[in-house]
Amino acid sequence: MKEMRRAYEDTLRQVVAALADRNLSKVSRIVGLHENTVRAIASGKNTKPALETLDKLADHLFGGRHVS
C-alpha cells in the first residue's frame, strides 16, 4: 500500500511539473478532462485527483508511464 501511495504521489508531482509549461486548454481537450480539473491539478488546488484522472494525464504527458 505504501508503494502504491508513493507511486501516486511521485506521478502527481511529475504531472504538476510537466503541466507548468503546457497549454492547459489543449491538454484538457486531448485527454478528455474538463479544463477546470486540469487547471486545479496544475495549480496544486487539487492534491488528490482520481487515479483515472492522473493516469490520463500521465499517459499523455509521459507516453504511458503511470501509477496503475
pLDDT digits (tens, 9 = 90+) for 12-58: 999 999 999 999 999 999 999 999 999 999 999 999 999 999 999 99
CA-nearest of 6, 3, 60 to 32 is: 60
Q: How many other C-beta atoms are found inside a 10 Å radius of the C-beta of residue 63? A: 8
Q: How many other C-beta atoms are found inside a 10 Å radius of the C-beta of residue 67? A: 16
20-36 exposure pattern, b = at least 16 Cβ within 10 A, e = fewer: eeeebeebbeebebeee
Q: CA 60 to CA 30: how far, in whole Å?
A: 8
Q: pTM (2 decimals)?
A: 0.89
